[in-house]
Every structure is written in structure tokens, then in C-alpha cells.
Amino acid sequence: MQHGKYGFIVGFLVCPLAIYTLFVVWPFLQSIYYSFTDWTGLSPEFSVVGLGNYAKMLRDDSFWNALRHSALFMLLLPVVVLGLALFFAFMLNVGGRGRRGAAVTGVTGSGVYKIVYFFPQVLSIAIVALLFQFAYNPNSGALNSALSAVGLGSVQPDWLGDPNLALWCVMAVLVWSNVGFYVVLFSAGMASIPKDFYEAALLDGANRMTTFFRITLPLLWDTVQSGWVYMGILALGAESFAVVQIMTVGPGGPADSTNVLTLLVYQKAFVGGQAGYATTIGVALLLITLAFAAVVMRLGRRERLEY
């Protein structure tokens, strides 16, 4: 019977593992191999150059510039997004005034707020980037029009045209488009925490801030840690590429002030015809992502709390 059981399990695992190997593992191995070549991406002919691409990458100012911007996204976006999401979720679930005999409740209209916060998730990131591109337009955009409407017509920033502002404008879009998902995620986690914990803490004289740091955050820590890793990967990956590619001049400008590693991979592979070098940058991006995930999981390790 045991032999038959293992054969049954293996039979179910073979097909998924084969598909995963074919479409995930094999492309990774191909990318690593091509990073040691001078492949153009257009011709089947190439030669192995060893560590030449990696040496070139370490001397490439555009790589370090893009790495600096990607690192800024990786470090700041999770802090801002998860911080705002935790605050909003806490207010929507346990931050309101007690009413109808309930000592712990969310703010009035919390159900409507959840829908409003989650709405950006319904939109494609490409649509979000286009909408904000129009809003940032210095001549007819909503932001400068709003400044004019409140008597600040003399303050008309060139949002995406100023090298000092463009990167922060892109980051603001990523924050706006991702906060809602984590608000709903954290709200689901908070809804499962027994209200008795909060009521007992309030009876003992604890305020809302104390209950957040002593009850909510410790019991949600596993969810927060997973969200931190996911948000960091997202900041390094496709969404940052899409927003920078669609919104900025160049793209990646002005003056290369918004370029990120994912966009640099695209530029080298499909614009510069340097697919081998592009995969080298891609391998570096993979290592950075794995290192980020490992550090977050290591620093965030703590004893699991159950209730």
C-alpha cells in the first residue's frame, strides 16, 4: 500500500514539475548561460565571452545609476505602502469610536472606504500610468490646474520633466496603485483577531496606538513580512518597468533620472541589440531580489504568535 501511495503522489507531481522546469527553471538556466555570451538577440550566432559582460556591467555608469533608483524603490516603497496600508486597515477595523454597544469597531463607512482603496487594483498598471501622465502634464494636467485653482498659479512644476521630481512622481504612482491591495489584505487579517483582545486592552487603559503595536502588529507580523517581500519584488520588477516606460520621457529620463534595472534590461536587449549583456543585468537583478528576500525573512524572523 505504501508503495502504491508514493507512486500515486509521484504520478501527480511529474506533470507539474515538468511544466515548471520547462517554463521557469530552463529559461533561468538559459539566461545565466547567455550572460556569458555576446549574443545580439537577433542572430543565432554568438560566442562565449566568459566574465566579460560582468566586468562591463561593473564599469557601466548606466547600470549603477539604474541600480541606485531600483534600490531606492526597493527600500522605500515597502515602508510607505505597508505603513499606509496598516494605518488605513487599522482605522477601518478597530480605529473607530465604539457605538451600538460595541467597544471596538471601525470608522463609519469602512465598507465603502475598502472599495475606494481597492479600486486602483481593478485598473491595469498601464492605464494607471497613462492617467497619471495626463495628471502630471505641466500645461493642462490636473495637478497644476488644482494649484492654479487655489491661487498657486505661480507654482507650476514640470513634474515629469524635472530630474529632481520625476523619480518621486513615479514612486507616488506605485504607492497609489498598491496601497489598496494591502489595506484589504491586512483588513482580512485584523478581522480574524478576536475583539476580546482589544476590549481587554482598552479596559486596562491602553490607547489605540498601544493596541496597534502590542496586539495588531505582532499578530499580523507573518502577513506583514510576506507583504514586505512581495512589495520589494514588485518594486524591482514589472510594475516599476511599466510605470517608468509609459510615463517618463526617453523613457528613463529626463537625464536618466528615472531609469531602473528592468528598463535597462529592455533597453540593452531590444534597443541596443545586446541581449547577452541584458541577461547579465537580469542575472544581477535576480541576485539582488533573492538577497532582499533573504534579508527581510532573516531580519523579520520572530516567534509565531497564535490565538
pLDDT in tens, 192-209: 888 888 878 878 777 878
Indicate whether 43 belongs to any domain: no
Indicate whether 70 belongs to any domain: yes
Indicate whether 109 belongs to any domain: yes
Residue 131 makes CB contacts below 8 A (sequence gap 6+) with 123
CA–CA separation, 91 vs 144, rounded Å? 31
Closest CA to 249 of 235, 238, 259: 259
Residue whose C-alpha cell is 507580523: 221
Indicate whether 50 belongs to any domain: no
List pLDDT tens digits, range 140-184.
Answer: 889 999 988 888 878 888 899 989 999 999 999 999 999 989 998
Indicate whether 210 belongs to any domain: yes
- Cis-peptide into 254, omega within 30 deg: yes
Element (H, E) at 19: helix 2-20
Residue whose C-alpha cell is 497619471: 132
Indicate whether 203 belongs to any domain: yes
- Tens-digit pLDDT profile for the chain (307 aa)? 455 667 767 777 888 888 999 998 898 899 899 999 998 888 888 889 989 999 999 999 999 999 999 999 999 999 999 999 999 988 888 766 655 545 567 777 777 888 888 888 888 889 999 999 999 988 888 999 998 888 887 888 889 998 999 999 999 999 999 998 999 899 888 888 888 888 788 787 778 788 888 888 888 888 899 899 999 998 888 889 999 999 998 888 898 999 999 999 999 998 888 999 999 999 999 999 999 999 988 887 776 666 5
User: Structural domain of residue 181, as residue ranges?
Assistant: 60-299
Amino acid letter, residue 245:
Q
Q: Based on the structure, what is the number of domains in the chain?
A: 1
User: Which grid coordinates are listed for 303?
Assistant: 516567534
CATH of the domain at 80: 1.10.3720.10
CA–CA separation, 299 vs 79, rounded Å? 15
pTM of the model: 0.87
Say whether 211 sits in a helix, a strand or coil: helix
